[in-house]
Structure 1
C-alpha cells in the first residue's frame, strides 16, 4: 500500500488540528476560543444506540429471534446440490447403462 493511500485512509481517524501547542499556550485568547468552541460543539454523553436493520436484526435479534432462516438456507443449499447431482447422474445414464 502506498503512503498516500494509507494517509488518506487514516485521515478520517485523526482529529483536526484545532488544539495546536501554539493555540493552547499562546497569549492570544482568540486561538483558545477556537479550541473551546470546537470542543463545546461535540456531543455529550454516550452514543445513541444504532438502529439495527437487515436480516440479522429481523430474524436473529429481538423478541422474534429464531433459527428458521438458517434452516431454510441449509435446505435450499441441499436442494440445489441434490438437483445438480441428480442431473449429472441422468447424464451418466444417458450413455452408460448399468
Structure 2
C-alpha cells in the first residue's frame, strides 16, 4: 500500500453548502476504514490536504471522484516517498 498527498483547491459554487454533510460522512467513512490518514481544510485559502493510502494513483482518483464535492475541486496528486512526524515516533520517556 502506498501513501498519497492530495492538495485540493476548491471554489464554493451553487449547492456547495448542501454537500458538506454527505461529504463529511464519506470522509469519516474513509478515516474509519484507515484509507484517509489526515484531512485538513483551510477556508481562508479554499484548500484541502488529504493524506491517504491506496494501491495506485487510479485508486486515489476513484476515491476522490466518489466525494459529493468532487465537481468543485481542482486537485494535485503526489505519491509520498517519506512520511515522518511526531505521531509516528515513540513517546518521550519522562522519569518520575
Give the TM-score normalised by the residue count of structure 2.
0.19
Q: Which one scores higher on RCO, CA 8 angstroms, separation ≥ 6? A: 2
Give the TM-score normalised by the residue count of structure 1.
0.18
Q: Which has the higher strand share?
A: 2
